[in-house]
């Protein structure tokens, strides 16, 4: 397999309609007078795999249902492939949805479930056999064609749901928490499989998920959502290395968190006084600003160079996880220092004090309410 993370079609080769293939603009929604979404803008290109990532209640499922036509937006427009579908009912949009609980029809067999979309589009019963067989072969469920749905495991049900969604050749595929009902091992296998399948067939797809690892693994770009807004919409590496808010930093991956106040400011470099000493970061905040410092755990290491940020903290926990060893240092009640070292590392123990450091360039800094 090629590097699937970066193997997207270069934008220059796409037409303007393909570049803004799905264009959600100014969409708002209220439930019983409570605004859950305001002026939502969201664009993605044809063939892209995008994740909507956020905690429950952030509006990601609302956005998915509005795109699918299963829920009407109060205002705003949804345009797909140059066609305004804002007021089009779901069954005329040609947008397939894989539901969280798969929503397979319990009174139909596997093959009848997969044939459903073709039958609904008026395909004669006799003409569904070939596309259904192909779709089942694609998800490796051929031998289950005549089984009832109740006889399938969770992973098998998911494959059928994907086959049923793809057999109609949708313009857009929406997946609502598609892996959440699977156990961890199966989930990882299915993520790799599904991503390769969608990529091979050039499917444009949106995954809705609350699982950051899943989002990082399956998507070209991730829209991190919070309270009905998109906080940041970027590719996985940018999102992880340069989160634009404390929310994104905390939601995508783990990090050291240290609160402090800017005490000096000179040529794009600030000094921040924290509970465990002075630290530096590249930023332009005036003296007196309350800030939050962060750094990703794998960028933190023991025995730092003198020009790096350095702290000495008691270790509350040392977790040896096989492929990595995680040190959890305590700064104070709210603040912590996380250090992740590759492989099994001895020489650290609970209660011991460690000196840990990281590069000033790697230090994330956000203004916070004092």
Read off φ and ψ for residue 135, nearest 5 degrees. -65, -40
Q: Do residues 236 and 53 touch, judged by C-beta distance below 8 A?
A: no
For the CB of residue 142, give the shortest distance to other proteins in the complex, in Å: 20
For the CB of residue 98, give the shortest distance to other proteins in the complex, in Å: 9
User: Shortest CA distance to 61 belongs to which of 159, 207, 205?
Assistant: 207
- Report the residue number, 109 or 261, with the smaller CB distance to other proteins: 109
DSSP code at position 113: H
Residue 104 parent element (H or E): none
- Report the residue number, 159 or 221, with the smaller CB distance to other proteins: 159
Angle between helices 129-138 and 110-120 (to 10 degrees): 120
Q: Do residues 279 and 258 touch, judged by C-beta distance below 8 A?
A: yes
- Report the residue number, 148 or 155, with the smaller CB distance to other proteins: 148
For the CB of residue 191, give the shortest distance to other proteins in the complex, in Å: 22
* Residue 28 buriedness (CB in 10 A; 0-12 / 13-18 / 19+): middle
- Report the residue number, 105 or 241, with the smaller CB distance to other proteins: 105
- Report the residue number, 82 or 89, with the smaller CB distance to other proteins: 89
Helix or strand or coil: residue 226?
Answer: strand
H helix count then E strand count, the chain = 9, 20
**236: its two tokens:** 């996985």
Q: Do residues 98 and 175 touch, judged by C-beta distance below 8 A?
A: yes
**47: its two tokens:** 């063939």
For the CB of residue 369, give the shortest distance to other proteins in the complex, in Å: 39
For the CB of residue 103, give the shortest distance to other proteins in the complex, in Å: 4
For the CB of residue 91, give the shortest distance to other proteins in the complex, in Å: 5
DSSP code at position 10: P
- Report the residue number, 79 or 90, with the smaller CB distance to other proteins: 90
- Report the residue number, 42 or 116, with the smaller CB distance to other proteins: 116
**54: its two tokens:** 């956020």
- Report the residue number, 89 or 314, with the smaller CB distance to other proteins: 89
For the CB of residue 110, give the shortest distance to other proteins in the complex, in Å: 12
Interacting residues toward other proteins by CB under 8 A? 68-70, 89-97, 99, 101, 103-109, 116-117, 119-121, 148, 150, 164-165, 168, 174
User: Shortest CA distance to 95 belongs to which of 165, 42, 176?
Assistant: 165
For the CB of residue 22, give the shortest distance to other proteins in the complex, in Å: 15
**Beta pairing, strands 49-53 & 221-226:** parallel
**366: its two tokens:** 């956000």
**Beta pairing, strands 301-302 & 353-358:** antiparallel
């Amino acid at each position: 397999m090629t590097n699937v993370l970066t193997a997207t079609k270069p934008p220059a080769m796409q037409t303007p309609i393909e570049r803004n293939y799905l264009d959600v603009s100014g969409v708002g929604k209220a439930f019983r007078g409570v605004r859950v979404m305001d002026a939502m803008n969201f664009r993605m290109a044809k063939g892209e795999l995008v994740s909507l990532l956020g905690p429950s209640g952030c509006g990601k499922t609302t956005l998915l249902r509005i795109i699918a036509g299963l829920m009407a937006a109060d205002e705003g427009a949804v345009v797909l492939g140059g066609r305004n579908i804002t007021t089009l009912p779901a069954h005329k949009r040609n947008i397939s949805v894989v539901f969280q609980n798969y929503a397979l029809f319990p009174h139909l067999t596997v093959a009848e479930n997969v044939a459903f979309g073709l039958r609904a589009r008026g395909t004669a019963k006799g003409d569904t056999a070939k596309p259904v067989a192909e779709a089942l072969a694609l998800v490796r469920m051929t031998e289950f064609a005549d089984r009832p749905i109740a006889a399938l495991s969770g992973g098998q049900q998911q494959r059928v749901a994907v086959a049923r969604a793809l057999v109609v050749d949708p313009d857009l595929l929406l997946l609502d928490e598609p892996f959440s009902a699977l156990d961890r091992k199966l989930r990882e296998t299915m993520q790799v499989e599904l991503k390769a399948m969608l990529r091979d067939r050039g499917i444009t797809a949106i995954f809705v998920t609350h699982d950051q690892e899943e989002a990082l693994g399956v998507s070209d770009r991730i829209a991190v959502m919070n309270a009905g807004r998109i906080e940041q919409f970027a590719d996985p590496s940018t999102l992880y290395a340069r989160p634009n808010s404390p929310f994104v930093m905390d939601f995508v991956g783990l990090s050291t968190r240290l609160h402090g106040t800017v005490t000096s400011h000179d040529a794009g470099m600030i000094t921040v006084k924290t509970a465990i000493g002075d630290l530096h970061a590249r930023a332009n905040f005036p003296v007196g600003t309350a800030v939050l410092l962060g750094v990703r755990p794998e960028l933190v290491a023991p025995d730092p160079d003198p020009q790096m940020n350095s702290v000495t903290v008691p270790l509350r926990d040392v977790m040896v996880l096989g492929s990595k060893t995680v040190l959890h240092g305590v700064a104070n009640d709210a603040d912590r220092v996380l250090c992740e070292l590759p492989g099994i590392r001895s020489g650290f123990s609970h209660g011991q004090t460690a000196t840990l450091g990281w590069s000033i360039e790697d230090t994330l800094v956000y203004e916070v309410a004092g």
